[in-house]
Structure 1
Amino acid sequence: MKSHPASLLAEVRTFRQNHPDVRYVDLIALDIPGHFYGKRYPIEMLEKVAAGSPLKLPQNAVLLGAQGGLFKIGDYCFNDGDPDANRRLVPGTLKPVSWESQPLGQMLITSDGTEAPIEFEPREVLAKVLERLHHKGIHPVVAFELEFYLFDKKLDNGLPQFARDPLSDDADDQPNLHIERLSRFSEVLDDMAHTAKDQGIDITVITAEIGPGQFEINFGHLDDGLRAADRAALFCRSTRCVALKHGYRASFMAKPYLQYPGSGMHVHVSLYDGAGNNLLAAHQQQPLRHAVAGCLELLPHCMPIFSPNHNAFRRLGGTVNAATRASWGFEDRDACVRIPESDPRNLRIEHRLASADANPYLVLAAILVGLEHGLETKHEPIAPLNEDRSSGTDFPLDMLDAVRAMQHQSVLRDKLGAEFVDVYCENKRQDHLAFQQEINAREYRWFL
């Protein structure tokens, strides 16, 4: 929804009063691969935008590939004249940035809520899904959990090096879940949490994960799906920047080490009606079963969203808690869709398949469409893993197969938008083909 100029103007003016040394603000939005693009605005110009002046950026900035290049996708990029598209400021997201050498602010921008939203902009895709659910009287409550690795700031011939233990200066090369790791890396982790809170992100639990230098940070539940995805995206940006300040490199890469667990994006979703009743818990939890069935039915067709690059497919099935089949279970971390133990008020699904470097707007949109589809079709799910450890349905384990499975799926084309599905699939196809256009050292070792 559009925000009233008066409230935006008040937000900018309050920010200027509280941070008089800030001269510039980065206006940023997430593209299809999950990278931020935007412009750095003088604070005086931001005040004019907040008052109603136009804010325009190239429409095709949303279509950038993983390396920032443009692909020919229909008439976009090369046959459309590279037009500008209107953006708007996202209220409540103007915050100070603490990781730059000079005082700086940042603020999210989006095309959703404008007169001509960009159909394939990730935030707009999610906004449409949420708007449709709200009209049906369905109100999601969402919480993200993100895993990431810390590496040494310097690469070794392009390869990551283990993060150095700040107490011993030795490489943190031992996989473990020890609480002491949180203490040893407390300085950088505390700064990450403090900086995230400065960005308006509700940080809760911090966990040392199994991989060497691997951590997980959880966020509080939100009844605003757009804000929940905003916070996941902003957290990735702030975490990477804070790590560099401390001499580390933080990465949400799905599978940086073949021998250690990958990094996932776990999303908890509850559905409530307008009176605050948990829809999934009604009628002896029958809607929960229907919602799970819908998620599992569409999951094989959403793989380009959940595993958005070649490396992300490496994460599936190789090590701990990463499935290779669409499955569900109660309190079962081997399942793609886990039902955590809870009381009826907090009954929810935990969707565990997406990689940490997936686009949070699109991941949440795909999950919600699966839940919506299940509530509409009212099918029974396959057996949970608790009853049958072999239960599950296959999904693509290769990007080109995954794109073919997604592009012509009628439910996704209807509920996510046909234009988005076509653009997204072609973007992923072209990115994957571009990635393949390099001969690595292993090929020469094997075949020269």
Structure 2
Amino acid sequence: MKSHATTLLAEVRTFRQNHPDVRYVDLIALDIPGHFYGKRYPIEMLEKVAAGSPLKLPQNAVLLGAQGGLFKIGDYCFNDGDPDANRRLVPGTLKPVSWESQPLGQMLITSDGTEAPIEFEPREVLAKVLERLQHKGIHPVVAFELEFYLFDKKLDNGLPQCARDPLSDDPDDQPNLHIERLSRFSEVLDDMAQTAKNQGIDITVITAEIGPGQFEINFGHQGDGMRAADWAALFCRSTRGVALKHGYRASFMAKPYLQFPGSGMHVHVSLYDGAGNNLLAAHQQQPLRHAVAGCLELLPHCMPIFSPNHNAFRRLGGTVNAATRASWGFEDRDACVRIPESDPRNLRVEHRLASADANPYLVLAAILVGLEHGLEAKREPIAPLNEDHTSGTDFPLEMLDAVRAMQHQPVLRDKLGAEFVDVYCENKRQDHLAFQQEIPAREYRWFL
């Protein structure tokens, strides 16, 4: 414990030496819908926390709805006295914030690793899954890919406007998938990439996607699954901030346009043993088939995680590479679970179903549980799409059906935690019902 505090204290003091103009640091954590909450601490107080002073925030901050409201979930929020819960600083995450008007720092905090972690905190859910896999001698290597849209900073009556191309105001003039579009938006994209690298995120490939103003950024493969999820979460925060600085609005919204592709969160996962052998490649890749079968079996029950809001369900069955059934295939982007071509050392699954605005900690936890379940059950998967283009199993395409499918699934309750499953499902149910409590203009046009 002493060496841990010493390391944190050294990190804070080094940061202060390198950034003497920073007076405040945002201490942040991801809630259930995938938004950051936290507090802004004076740098002097942060040094005290690093040295061992308590760091407490309300436990129920994790339960906030998509719009920040609190729902009655069991005895939480309204019958529990709104208690504080201990958090800890995450070592190695204290970084400068360059997109604000004033010098600022930020650092991740979490309840995992404390004496009483919050069972439904997303980072704690993933931490338990990773710890269990480690005890079984399974070591994931993970890489996230995130798609997002750039919009004009100003909305038009609440509706997004395409990002203004420096060479043209017509979105049809933006060349899809071409290097030229990367050049046209190079100033903001380069700043996004450099800012992410300054946060410690390993940014690799940048791609211009099919939608106007849509891009994808890939991260390096990471042997620490938690760190890989941290990168995805932090990237979303910094990217939105950098976009505003350049006069744009960056959004990871799943389906901002009905006529254009939605934005996804693709997750590559390979599994290794303690000696560095790829577990999926053993015995003529039989474990790979088992792992795929487990993923597909649990996928219909994980839909509230992969599609966490009403808009995310709009993305499914869309214009490009968005499946409507649980499926898999080799080098097939229409599949939920794609097996990219690779040598045995790098054999992996690419899980393509989650929307870009999903919670990366929970998405990774759900994928790993599916792989783990498959390796244990040792079942054969359905036919891949390469052999049968009609292959696949149905999954819910509406939130309330998805919640019902998730809440009582025994494997998820066991491996993700029954308390988390109950809390998460009720949070999604209440969020969905709250979303319905407004009559849109179209409803009046149709039925008035």
Give the whole-Å Cα distance in 2 for the aligned partners of 1:349 and 1:431: 31
Q: 1:160 to 1:173 in 2, by over 3 A?
A: farther
**Bigger Cα displacement from structure 2, 207-216 vs 159-168:** 159-168
Q: Give the deviation of 1:264 after TM superposition.
A: 0.1
Residue 166 of structure 1: how far off its partner (Å): 1.7
Note if contact 2:31-2:63 (Cα within 8 Å) is conserved in structure 1: yes
Quote how far apart the aligned CAs of 1:178 are.
Answer: 1.5
Please tell me whether the aligned partners of residues 270 and 348 of structure 1 are also in contact (alpha carbons under 8 angstroms): yes
Alignment of 1:10-159 (within 5 A): 10-159=10-159
* Partner residue in 1 for 2:433: 433
User: TM-score, normalised to structure 1's length?
Assistant: 0.99
Paired with 1:175 and 1:158, the residues of 2 have a C-alpha distance of 26
1:204-248, Cα deviation, whole Å (9 max, x unpaired): 000000001000000000000000000000000000000000000
Indicate conservation of the 8 Å contact 2:324/2:394, yes or no. Answer: yes
Equivalent position SS for 1:416:
helix
Q: 1:347-382, CA deviations, whole angstroms, 9 ceiling, x for partnerless residues?
A: 000000000000000000000000000000000000
Please provide the CA RMSD for this pair. 1.1
1:175 deviation in Å?
6.7
Structure 1 CA distance, aligned partners of 2:428 and 2:387?
Answer: 36
> What is aligned with 2:443?
443
CA distance in 2, matches of 1:313, 1:143: 24
Provide the C-alpha distance between the structure 2 equivalents of 1:235 and 1:372, rounded to a whole number of angstroms. 27
- Shift in Å at residue 2 of structure 1? 10
Q: What is the distance in 1 between the residues matched to 2:345 and 2:193?
A: 29
SS of match in other structure, 2:2: coil
The alpha carbon displacement at 1:3 in A equals 7.3
Counterpart of 2:148 in 1: which secondary structure? strand
Q: CA 1:201–1:264 in 2, change beyond 3 Å: closer, same or farther?
A: same
SS in 1 for 2:335: coil
- Displacement of 1:170: 4.5
Give me the whole-angstrom Cα distance separating, in 1, the residues matched to 2:9 and 2:148: 36
Indicate if the aligned counterparts of 2:57 and 2:86 stay in contact, CA closer than 8 A: yes
Question: 2-side partners of 1:3 and 1:76: how far apart?
Answer: 36
In 1, are the aligned partners of 2:271 and 2:280 still within 8 Å (CA)?
A: yes
- Quote the residue 1:170 is aligned against: 170
Alpha-carbon shift at residue 173 of structure 1 (Å): 6.3
In 2, Cα distance between equivalents of 1:167 and 1:384: 44
Distance 1:270 1:2, change over 3 A: farther
Alpha-carbon separation, structure 2, partners of 1:171 and 1:390: 35
Structural mapping, 1:296-315, within 5 Å: 296-315=296-315
Instruction: Note if contact 1:305-1:362 (Cα within 8 Å) is conserved in structure 2.
Output: yes
What's the secondary structure of 2:37's corresponding residue?
Answer: strand
User: Aligned equivalents of 1:153 and 1:72: distance in 2?
Assistant: 35
State the SS of the aligned residue for 1:172.
helix
SS in structure 1 of the partner of residue 171 of structure 2: coil
Distance 2:346 2:2 in 1: 31
Which whole-Å CA distance do the structure 2 matches of 1:242 and 1:21 have between them? Answer: 20
Any conservation in 2 of the 1:174–1:211 contact (CA below 8 Å)? no
Q: In 1, Cα distance between the equivalents of 2:13 and 2:222?
A: 27
**1:395 offset after TM fit, Å?**
0.1
Deviation string for 1:294-334 (max 9, x for gaps)? Answer: 00000000000000000000000121000000000000000
Preserved contact between residue 2 and residue 113 of structure 1 (Cα < 8 Å):
no
Indicate the residue corresponding to 1:284 in structure 2: 284
Q: How far apart in 2 are the matches of 1:232 and 1:305?
A: 15
How far apart are residue 174 of structure 1 and its match?
A: 4.7
1:176-222 Cα distance to aligned partner (Å, 9 max, x none): 21210000000000000000000000000000000010000000000
| 3-state SS of paired residue (2:3) | coil
The CA distance in 1 between the partners of 2:3 and 2:107, in whole Å, is 14
Contact 1:94 1:106 (8 Å CA) reproduced: yes
Verify the 8 A CA contact 2:143 2:220 in the aligned structure 1: yes
Asked if 2 retains the 8 angstrom alpha-carbon contact of 1:300 and 1:405, the reply is: yes
Matched, 1:227 2:227: yes
Bigger mean CA offset, 392-401 vs 162-171? 162-171
Find the aligned partners of 2:176 and 2:10 in 1 and give their Cα distance: 48
Equivalent pair of 2:165/2:174 in contact (CA under 8 Å): no
Equivalent-residue separation in structure 1 for 2:279 and 2:324 (angstroms): 29
CA distance, structure 1, for counterparts of residue 118 and residue 172 of structure 2? 44
Contact 1:162–1:172 at 8 Å: present in 2 too? no
Task: Tell me the TM-score normalised to structure 2 length.
Answer: 0.99
* Deviation string, structure 1 residues 368-405 (Cα, Å, up to 9, x no partner): 00000000000000000000000000000000000000
Pick closer, same or farther for the CA change 1:330–1:36 going to 2, 3 Å: same
1:168 to partner: Cα distance = 3.5
* Partners of 1:173 and 1:66 in 2: CA distance: 35
SS class of match (1:196): helix
CA contact (8 A) 2:293 2:374 kept: yes
CA contact (8 A) 1:165 1:172 kept: no
Verify the 8 A CA contact 1:162 1:173 in the aligned structure 2. no
Please say if residues 173 and 213 of structure 1, whose CA atoms lie closer than 8 Å, have aligned partners that are also in contact: no
Deviation readout 1:42-87 (Å, 9 max, x if unpaired): 0000000000000000000000000000000000000000000000
Once residues 88 and 243 of structure 2 are traced to their aligned partners in structure 1, the CA distance between those partners, rounded to angstroms, is: 30
Q: How many Å separate the matches in 2 of 1:398 and 1:200?
A: 37
Aligned-partner Cα distance in 2 for 1:89–1:126: 17
Question: For residues 410 and 2 of structure 1, do their structure 2 counterparts lie closer, same or farther at Cα, with a shift above 3 Å needed?
Answer: farther
Q: How many residues are treated as equivalent by the alignment? A: 448
Shift of residue 167 of structure 1? Answer: 3.1
1:129·1:369 contact (CA, 8 Å) conserved in 2?
yes
Question: Is the CA contact 1:172–1:213 (under 8 Å) kept in the aligned structure 2?
Answer: no
Q: What is the deviation of 1:93?
A: 0.2
The answer (yes or no) to whether the contact 1:163–1:172 under 8 Å persists in 2 is no
> Which runs of no fewer than 5 residues in structure 2 stay unpaired?
none
Question: How far apart in 1 are the matches of 2:348 and 2:376?
Answer: 18
Partner SS, residue 85 of structure 1: strand
- 2:21 and 2:442 map into 1 onto residues whose CA distance is 52
Give the corresponding residue for 2:377: 377
1:196–1:235 CA contact under 8 A, matched in 2: yes
Q: Provide the rounded CA distance (Å) in 2 between the counterparts of 1:221 and 1:104.
A: 29
Return closer, same or farther for 1:173/1:159 CA change in 2, 3 Å cut-off. Answer: farther
Q: What percentage of residue pairs aligned between the two structures are identical?
A: 95
Between 272-281 and 165-174, the greater mean CA deviation after superposition = 165-174
